[in-house]
Amino acid sequence: MAASRRRGRITAVAAVIATAALTTGLTTGCDAVNKALDCVQTADAIADSVTDLQQAVENASNDPTQLDEALASIDKNLDKIGDKTDNADVNKAVDDLNKAVANVRTSIKNGDNTPNVSPVTDAAGELTKVCTS
């Protein structure tokens, strides 16, 4: 099931990239297409990290280090996307996702091994949305 969900997401991302490339390429050139592509690819990587985070929360009793690894992966990708864009909507989505990740880290630090990650999921969804619009 996870493979089909990932395949569906990759297909959707490819369609968005193709549309963005055609539309943006006609009006603003290759640099804008590359930035849009970077945004979509990074948003997709973050979505994978959020899935890993959700699984880590489910398996926290077996391996609590998975939580930190998933959060670190999200942080790394957020740094990448933040460095590559000057889009205000993308920057806001990145900031919101950073705050959600920080809240999960705080929960873990305070002893919650199964923190609520739905704000992270919501913020990642918003980032994907602004990258593909």
Q: Say how far apart CA 50 and CA 98 lie, in whole Å.
A: 12
Q: Quick one: DSSP state of residue 113?
A: S
Write out the H or E segment, with its range, that includes residue 4: helix 2-27
- 82-129 confidence digits (pLDDT tens): 666 777 888 888 899 999 999 999 998 898 888 899 999 999 888 888
Kindly tell me if the per-residue pLDDT of 27 is higher than 50.
no
Q: Say how far apart CA 112 and CA 47 lie, in whole Å.
A: 23
pTM of the predicted model over 0.85 = no
The fraction of the chain above a pLDDT of 70, given in percent, is: 71
DSSP of 19-63: HHHHHHHHHT-HHHHHHHHHHHHHHHHHHHHHHHHHHHHHTTTT-
